[in-house]
Amino acid sequence: MVRKQKGQALVELAIVMPILVGMIAVLFQLGILFVAYLSLVHEMRDVGRWAAVHPDTYDGTSCSDAGSLFAQVCADAPSVIDPTKLTFSVIQGSDLQTRTCTLPLVSGRCTARPAYAELRMRIQYDAASSLIFLPTNFRLGPWLQVKVPTNLPPYDLSVMVEQH
């Protein structure tokens, strides 16, 4: 009788262990993505404070645009974030139309960002190739196809431009 119970416990462990290991892996994955998202939130707040004080910085389109707001985002990126996977944009006003501050500046000033104007910024991160170690496409049975999103949700921040 005792021998059958030991075998039963081993079989139950063999059935339950893959489920437990899978749940732990999913929890680790969600933890990594949550830390990355919180890092983006903190980075965006730092960049927002910097942009409010330095409104005459042009937006830029990549990390290689020296002196741009995008370069500031890339320089301020935490170590868990790959700056080449960031999408950053500046939106001004309540109409939510993108209005960029591009080169050349007019007398060293960005005329699209007057003092006390609302400056909205958005950052988004594609975590597919850098942070996700679990499969993002899989089937659960013959009927259910699961597709996990790989982009972190965008984070918007509004700041008021300070007086020049």
Confirm if 122 and 158 have CB atoms less than 8 A apart. no
Q: How many domains does the chain have?
A: 1
The pLDDT value given to residue 15 = 92
DSSP secondary structure string, 95-131?
Answer: T--B----SSPBTTB-TTS-TT-EEEEEEEEB-TTTT
pLDDT band at 41 (very low <50, low <70, confident <90, very high): very high
Assign 44 a pLDDT band (cuts: 50, 70, 90): very high
Q: How many CA atoms lie within 13 A of 38 on its CB side?
A: 6
Domain containing 112 equals 2-160
Tell me the average pLDDT of the chain.
83
Q: How do residues 124-149 score in pLDDT, each as one tens digit?
A: 998 887 788 888 888 878 888 888 78
Q: What is the tens place of the pLDDT at every residue in 8-23?
A: 888 889 999 998 998 8
Tokens of 90: 């500046």
- Per DSSP, the three-state class of 88 is strand
Residues 123 and 85: their CA atoms lie apart, in Å, by: 11
- The pLDDT tens digits of the residues spanning 87-130 come to 888 876 565 455 667 777 877 787 777 888 888 889 999 888 77
DSSP 8-class letter at 136: S
- What b/e readout covers 6-15, taking b as 16+ CB neighbours within 10 angstroms? eeeeeeeeee
